Chains A and B, each alone.
Chain A
């Protein structure tokens, strides 16, 4: 499970980094989304991976039987904030497309 998770994070981060370095705004936004998914998984992972472990305490159960609730709370916040800022970025991206007539990140096509 650790291997799959870390591979998943790695692949998404790699693709994300590659995409945000591309010249098209659409590629940039997809890259940022992929990166934020990778980061969300990463945050989730720092709490330690556990299967079928609840995060809510009940009496008489050893602490080691729980999963860490803090990263879950953090990841929830990060998802919400990431979602909102991506939506905002999308608006700017469309405005830029409308104003410049191109989807190049510099607002103009590179001269050939």
Chain B
């Protein structure tokens, strides 16, 4: 085994030219991929661009394709990849701004579409607290763990063939709020999630769940959304909302 890792990184400069750069990183200096990138930035090539912030898998900034799979650079231990040659590319299904930095605005635009906040019929003017049992909390707790890193959007094969598809994270967020007993906005969200670019586009490949660094299960949420949307649509036929 060599005492250096070889980082092969897909680059894109300001002129739009795409190329690969390879760097040798000493094994005893780094443990995570992000540390490797920082080593390159500080010691080998200051022009390398990548996004990061918290370094502890909370901010969701450092998502990238590492060894062919969307992962967080901060929580990917290089040794766990079991190879010395590490290929790093920007996340798929996003517009690349420069090197490993992608434009995540379309992702957040989609996220906003599903109204990711508590909606109340009383417009928030309730005079007593809204109680919630532990069981009610656990109905949505898993989906509230989402850090909006967007890895699921890069892993979803439908996102690759139909960029209009809302995608796993926004749909999981829709379910997170619909499953919350304090929320009364399901009837509004169903119009979006049950539309042409909503849950019906999902074919249950399950890659979103496979790559989620926080263990969120968007494919499960999408199936739950389908059932809820069906119930609401049927109720609306008979005059209910």
Report if A and B associate in a common complex. Answer: no
Report A's interface with B, CB cutoff 8 A: none
Report B's interface with A, CB cutoff 8 A: none
